[in-house]
Amino acid sequence: MAYAMHGGIQYEYIDAMRAARGADVTDMAPPASLVLTLPENKRVLVRVGDRVLRGQVIAEADGILLHAPEAGFVSEAMDAIRIECDGTDETAATVVKTNKRLQDCTREEIIEKLRVCGVADSDGVAMADRVEGADGASVLIAECVDDIAASSSPASIVNGMKILMFALGVRQGVVVCGDDIIDAAKKLSEVCAKSKLIKVATVRAKYPQADKKRLAYAVTGRRASNEFVVSAQTCAAVYDAFVTGMPQTRRIVSVTKGKISKNIRAAIGTGFAELLKFAGIEVDDGDVIIEGGLLCGRRVSPGDAVGKTTRSLVVLRSDDVYERRGADVCIRCGRCVSACPEKLLPNYIVSYIRDGKEHAALSRGALDCDGCGVCSYVCPGGVPIADIITGFAKNHAREVGSEAQNERDKG
Amino acid sequence: MNAIKADGAPFIKSPETVRAMMADVVTAMIPAAVWAVWRFGAKALLLMALSVSTSVLCEGVFEYIAKKRVTVGDLSAVVTGMFIAFGLPVEAPWYVPVFASVFAIIIVKCAFGGLGANVFNPALAGVVFVRLCFRSRLPYSSALTALAVGKLPEYSVYDAAVGLTDGAIGEVSAMLLTVGGLYLIARSVIDWRVPVLFVGTVAALSVLFPQNAAYILYELFSGSLFLGAVFMATDPTTTPVTGVGRCVFAVGAGALTYVMRRFGGDLDGVAYAILAMNMLSGTIDRIAAPRQVRSGTGTEAGK
């Protein structure tokens, strides 16, 4: 029987995109123009009118290099870079294959390759930095519970894992698969069968099993310490980067509205409106588009575009979106307690926070809350538990930070 | 207050609401309520009507006067009213359910902060209050009186289980209360461990410290044990939130019930036992928390 995590909730109850899991991936041709949004600390390396080639470096932000997903002309280069694709297949000269075997490479070479190709993980953190900073990692965990790339390229994922394990000096790799993608898990097992160091583990498809702490506990049975957790799609990107030298130019995004649910491999920078149109999904007035999951994601607009961290889009009709009423009441039923993956007592923490008992809230573990939101989902009284606790934790961190700053200023 | 829509996660919500849970509880009580009317006549219906309407009225008036949001729509006052009626014998004069409801809602529930904030089970406290105030007018079931002096009741165990006996109108039919309990367990409204452990503890103690082997089943089916175990000890607000905590609560309540019955604290024992455990719910939670979080920031806590 598959391992089932404590608390949480089955994906089938909450996730409109589960229909797409295990479905085949459809490739989408890049649209006429691609929009790459840039974060705050950016350095734009091209100007309007420049012609860029596929894989060419166009910007740098937070230590991660950004590349053009397709060849074309730059039409905008301020807060976002817009590229008008010209349909050619020209690739930048910097995209260089690795001719060496993995065993002949050094750790530094791999890290450099990851840096040059701007490979980022699902949270947008540079893989090069992560691998470099990983000290004594014990196991590599590739996550296929929330990430649906497993269905498309098991070989890339496993090979990517091998590269990472080599760079990290880790001798054990585990691919964690949700139990609702049996076919993909089988394909992965076949690929892993040849390797003694990598195996496939199946877990009950529950949210938030894909969370780092949950995966670490599922694999090691101990509290998370030095496991290196990465999503399956990132492993595949590592493999592509290493072998072909091509940075991430595509992203597998699952798009869902009601019964229509598809996995689409789209160019980074594809506008959501075009992506949804390609999937055959109509966005009506008042529909809400949510990216990143229905319990912990955020609202996006059709004008936004696919980025390196985009995973899923769900279109909800206005009526289906949860409308939080101003008044809520905790009846102490304890559903949040059963739901909490961190084994906290969310109802007590909320009552301490609302009564202003800061120390009590902290001692009950308010800072350990991951913000997964299952408690808010199950609460019959409509208490926005996750928001209250994470809001408190953020305020506390700010206060602690500013207090420390005051201390420093004084001394 | 304006509705906050689509600003942040969660964007979906489970369909469970307080009102739906309360409606389920009322549904679970219907078999026992119908039996009460069938067995005890229209007076039973009058008692239920009086207690429900008084409860709802008291809650509404109190909240209106106190300028709070009127929460009568969540049906919790209806449930309290029904429980109060269930705990009274049919001989109760008309003013008894009224007194009980006023005390239960205004003092035990609203004055403590309303739904979710009360320490004691309002219905149980209301019934206990009127039993103390109007002692002579509210007879206990003949089975309890007999067991207390070491005699067997006059009717059969079958009668006791099905409900063909005397006693409070809602407590007599252990069978129909169990049916209601199974419904609530199936709907995930109550935790099955509580009624099982509560009744199980009383059963175990009556086996370990028997008066007479024949008494055990009478012990279980007489008085308000099933009513308390299925409906009162499972009240969300006044019982622990942790799984282990609930088990401790149920075992404690069962033990106290048996001790009170045997050592003469009360003929029934159930109401007082549950009220006593209500006081300890918070402490039980603190001790039985699923994860021991050390004081401080909590981030150094072990698992």
Determine whether B276 is exposed, middle or buried from the number of CB atoms within 10 Å of its CB (0-12, 13-18, 19+): middle
Amino acid at A103: Q
Reference A188, options A144, A227, A230, A231; nearest CA is A144
Tokens of B289: 């928390």
Residue B65, pLDDT score: 94
Q: Predicted ipTM?
A: 0.87
Tokens of B209: 């410290």
Residue B297, pLDDT score: 42
Mean per-residue pLDDT, A31-47: 86
Residue B213, pLDDT score: 67
Secondary structure (H, E, C), B57-99 = HHHHHHHHHCCCCCCHHHCHHHHHHHHHHHCCECCCCCHHHHH
Q: Beta partners for A126?
A: A120
* Per-residue pLDDT at B298 exceeds 50: no
Determine whether A110 is exposed, middle or buried from the number of CB atoms within 10 Å of its CB (0-12, 13-18, 19+): buried
pLDDT in tens, A167-196: 888 889 999 888 877 778 888 888 888 888
* Per-residue pLDDT at A152 exceeds 80: no
Mean per-residue pLDDT, A91-97: 80
Report CB contact under 8 Å: B6, A377. Answer: no
- For A66-92, b where at least 16 C-beta lie within 10 A, e where not — what string? bbbbbbbbbeebeebbbbebeeeeebb
Q: Beta partners for B45?
A: none
Residue with tokens 């206005």: A318
* CATH 1.10.3470 at B18-288, yes or no: no
Q: How far is CA A26 from CA A146, A251, A261, in A?
A: 18, 11, 12
- Picking from A320, A327, A333, the nearest residue to B236 by CB comes out as A333
Q: How far apart are CA A154 and CA A198, in angstroms?
A: 12
Report CB contact under 8 Å: A329, B116. Answer: yes
Note whether B147 and B219 are within 8 A (CB). yes
Q: Which residues of A touch B2 (CB under 8 A)?
A: 326
Per DSSP, A320 falls in state G
* Per-residue pLDDT at A243 exceeds 90: no
Residue B294, pLDDT score: 45
Amino acid at A230: V
- Picking from B4, B115, B241, the nearest residue to A329 by CB comes out as B115
**Which B residues, 132 through 171, put their C-beta within 8 Å of a C-beta on chain A?**
none
3 state SS of A274: helix
- Picking from A297, A363, A381, the nearest residue to B9 by CB comes out as A297
Q: How far apart are CA A123 and CA A143, in angstroms?
A: 13
pLDDT in tens, B161-201: 898 988 899 999 999 999 999 999 999 999 999 999 999 99
Determine whether A260 is exposed, middle or buried from the number of CB atoms within 10 Å of its CB (0-12, 13-18, 19+): middle
Confidence of residue B274 (pLDDT cuts 50, 70, 90): very high
Tokens of B184: 């609530």
Size of interface A-B (CB pairs under 8 A): 143
Mean per-residue pLDDT, A212-220: 85
Q: Which residues of A touch B4 (CB under 8 A)?
A: 323-324, 326
Residue B46, pLDDT score: 96
